[in-house]
Amino acid sequence: MNNIFEVPQPGDDLVEKADQVRLASIKISQTENKNRIKALNFMADYLEINAKEILEANLEDYAIAEKKGISKALLSRLKLSKEKLNSGIEGVRKVGELADPVNQVQIKKELSEGLILERKTVPIGVLGVIFESRPDAVMQISALAIRSGNGVILKGGSEANLTNTAIVKALQEGLNASGLDKNAICLLTSRKDSMSMLNLEKYINLIIPRGSNELVKFIQENTRIPVLGHADGICHLFIDIDANLDMALSVALDSKIQYPAACNAIETLLVHQDIAKTFLEKAIPLFNSNDVKLIGDKRSVDLGLKYEASLEDWRTEYLDLILSIKIVDDLEEAITHIQKYSSKHTDGIITENISTANEFMNVIDSAGVFHNCSTRFADGFRYGFGAEVGISTQTLPPRGPVGLEGLVTYKYFLKGHGNIVDDFSSGKVLFTHKDL
């Protein structure tokens, strides 16, 4: 990867910009909930006011990209229709309706008489967001950042530069009109700046990458700033000996085909040997009729699969209508396979046996462990978080689908009236440690 991307040291210009965002972020971190909601409404208003300009910028981006021969998939993500823009604007307003993630009291206790400890949520500071194409992401992530009292430095794909610039101009006008510092949202437009961001650990507190696995992986490996996101999504579904086979077929199909390009779609199906024959007799025609290419281990090829899997298949995220199948001796072999190949995103089991389900769910160390349901439910909106900032596959929190809570941290507020530790060491005063 090192020959594709580079991580140059940030230039003075970038440091200057980042410092402005940092200063603006300190101001916005002090704003009341109602003022942040007001800012979101102004941001939406100014997107509407500038809609014509934004759509024209997008037409221009599109024409340039088309001339350059950019792929159809990229072109379709780049395209910002009037409907897409309107739904993006609606989205900005909707973020205002989410519960305020800031100033939530997590701990409140008396340490000793008149010495009160509070742990409250506070904004993280400055977010660095690197995304590819999709100008609608600018609106969404800016809204989430402002909602949670953070500043944000955005870097989008260069093919959407004109669109992104027009959107950010409107968002800044909105911020300004609402009385907040417009520097809280900043757009970088050169690739050099994009990568230099990774060295801005003094200014950026969290990097949120939105793009290909390669981009995310590169970012994770080339910055000391915490990264909220995940590279691979290699999810498994295990069909146990005690599975209801109709349910197994329906959930397996949904987990694969409902949206195969999603990170929470399954890549590998593990099937208990004792039901493999019956299951595959129904599964093979079902997947075939849904255009899913099945690639299996030796035993499943013996039971009718056309393509034999190589070792590489077990660690491949197809993101496509391809599914690898492995027949396992028992629960233990299924668990061992998952422990070896899972990307710790989401892994599920289909079984009517509660104790088997519990063992699977307890032992599998993934952000999501699912029983008798589709892995496609692993998603911030489906979990009811109202928003999804990203999905994290790291072990430490935040883990799994992350809503607005991923954009705040906490700090400890201790208020006394002259309390000193020496009085406690000498035994003159005692700790009470009472929850309030």
Q: Which of residues 76, 384, 427, 428 is near a copy of itself by CB under 8 A?
A: 384
Task: Determine, following the binding rule CB under 8 A, whether residue 29 of this chain makes contact with a copy of itself.
Answer: yes
Instruction: Give the whole-angstrom CA distance, residue 171 versus residue 216.
Output: 26
Q: How far is CA 92 from CA 36, 98, 180, 233, in A?
A: 12, 11, 16, 28
Cβ distance to a copy of itself smaller for residue 43 or 235: 235
Span from 87-95, 163-171, 175-183, 412-420 in contact with a copy of itself (CB under 8 A): 412-420
Question: With contact defined as beta carbons under 8 Å apart, do 190 and 21 qualify?
Answer: no
Within 13 Å, how many C-alpha atoms sit on residue 285's CB side? 3
Task: Determine, following the binding rule CB under 8 A, whether residue 372 of this chain makes contact with a copy of itself.
Answer: yes
Q: Smallest gap, in angstroms, from Cβ of residue 46 to a copy of itself?
A: 28
Task: Determine, following the binding rule CB under 8 A, whether residue 373 of this chain makes contact with a copy of itself.
Answer: yes
Q: Smallest gap, in angstroms, from Cβ of residue 49 to a copy of itself?
A: 33
Instruction: Give the whole-angstrom CA distance, residue 28 versus residue 125.
Output: 9
Task: Determine, following the binding rule CB under 8 A, whether residue 315 of this chain makes contact with a copy of itself.
Answer: no
Q: Which of residues 68, 396, 427, 428 is near a copy of itself by CB under 8 A?
A: 396
Q: Which of residues 7, 55, 333, 413 is near a copy of itself by CB under 8 A?
A: 413
Span from 4-12, 83-91, 297-305, 355-363 in contact with a copy of itself (CB under 8 A): 355-363
For residue 26 the two structure tokens come to 């300190």
Q: Which H/E stretch holds residue 341? A: helix 331-341
Q: Which of residues 83, 362, 427, 428 is near a copy of itself by CB under 8 A?
A: 362
Q: CA 191, 392, 144 angle in degrees (round to 5)?
A: 65
The closest of 194, 172, 186 to 22, measured between CA atoms, is: 186
Length, in residues, of the chain: 436
Residue 32 phi/psi, 5-degree rounding, is: -75, 160
Q: CA 399, 314, 249 angle in degrees (round to 5)?
A: 80
Span from 90-98, 181-189, 192-200, 410-418 in contact with a copy of itself (CB under 8 A): 410-418
Task: Determine, following the binding rule CB under 8 A, whether residue 222 of this chain makes contact with a copy of itself.
Answer: no
Task: Determine, following the binding rule CB under 8 A, whether residue 319 of this chain makes contact with a copy of itself.
Answer: no
- CA 202 centroid distance within chain: 23
What are the residues binding a copy of itself (CB under 8 A)?
Answer: 26, 29-30, 109, 111, 115, 117, 122, 124-125, 205-206, 221, 224, 226, 244, 247, 250-251, 253-254, 258-259, 357, 361-363, 365-374, 376-378, 382-384, 394-397, 399-401, 409-422, 424-425, 431, 433
